[in-house]
Amino acid sequence: MSPSPLFAAPKGTRDILPGESRRFEKLVATFSDFAHRYGFGLIVSPLFEDVGVFHRGIGEQSDVARKEMYVFEDRSGRRLALRPEGTASVVRAFVQHHPVTPWKVWYLTPAFRYEQPQAGRYRQHHQLGVEALGTDDPTLDVEVITLAWRFYEAVGLRQISLMINSMGHRACREPYLELLRQHLETHEGELCDEHRALWRTNALRVLDCKQESCVGVTAPGPMLIDHVCEECRAHFQIVRDGLDSLGVTYSVNPRLVRGFDYYTRTTFEFVSGAMNSAQNAVGGGGRYDRLAEELGGDPTSGIGFGSGLERLMLALEAESIVALDDSSIDVFIVDTAGGQSSLVLVEALRAVGLSAERSYDQRSMKSQMKLADRSGARLALLIGPRERESDTVTIRDLRGTDEAQRQHSVALLDATATVLQLLTK
- Identify which of residues 23 and 123 has a Cβ nearer to RNA in the complex: 123
Residue 396: strand, helix, or coil: strand
DSSP lists the bridge partners of residue 68 as: none
Among 57, 138, 242, 308, binds RNA (CB under 7 A): 308
The 261-300 contact track toward RNA, x by CB under 7 A, reads: --------x-------xxxxxxxx----------------
Binders of RNA in range 84-103 (CB under 7 A): 85
Q: Should residue 407 be labelled a site residue for RNA when binding is judged by CB under 7 A?
A: yes
The CB-of-78 to RNA minimum distance in angstroms stands at 25
Binders of RNA in range 343-382 (CB under 7 A): 363-367, 369-374, 382
Among 22, 26, 121, 181, binds RNA (CB under 7 A): 121
The CB-of-234 to RNA minimum distance in angstroms stands at 27
Helix and strand numbers, DSSP H then E, in the chain: 16, 16
Rounded to an integer, what distance in angstroms lies between the CA atom of residue 208 and that of residue 89?
27
Q: Should residue 14 be labelled a site residue for RNA when binding is judged by CB under 7 A?
A: yes
Binders of RNA in range 124-153 (CB under 7 A): 125, 127
What is the side-by-side strand order in the sheet with 251-252? Answer: 41-42, 103-112, 124-133, 302-308, 281-288, 264-272, 160-166, 251-252
- Identify which of residues 96 and 409 has a Cβ nearer to RNA in the complex: 409
- Would strands 251-252 and 71-73 be described as parallel, antiparallel, or unpaired? unpaired
DSSP 8-state class, residue 339: T
Q: Report which of 91, 153, 128 is spatially closest to residue 284, judged by C-alpha positions.
A: 128
Q: How far is CA 172 from CA 56, 104, 224, 231, 296, in A?
A: 21, 28, 9, 10, 23
Q: Which amino acid is at 148?
A: A
Binding segment for RNA (CB under 7 A), chosen from 130-138, 149-157, 289-297, 393-401, is 393-401
Binders of RNA in range 186-225 (CB under 7 A): 194, 205, 208-211
- Identify which of residues 56 and 113 has a Cβ nearer to RNA in the complex: 113
The CB-of-31 to RNA minimum distance in angstroms stands at 14
DSSP lists the bridge partners of residue 163 as: 251, 269
Q: Report which of 156, 158, 159, 128 is spatially closest to residue 144, judged by C-alpha positions.
A: 128
The CB-of-322 to RNA minimum distance in angstroms stands at 17
Q: Should residue 116 be labelled a site residue for RNA when binding is judged by CB under 7 A?
A: yes
- Identify which of residues 337 and 420 has a Cβ nearer to RNA in the complex: 337
Q: Should residue 260 be labelled a site residue for RNA when binding is judged by CB under 7 A?
A: yes
- Identify which of residues 79 and 386 has a Cβ nearer to RNA in the complex: 386
Q: How crowded is the C-beta side of 225, counted as CA atoms within 13 Å?
A: 14
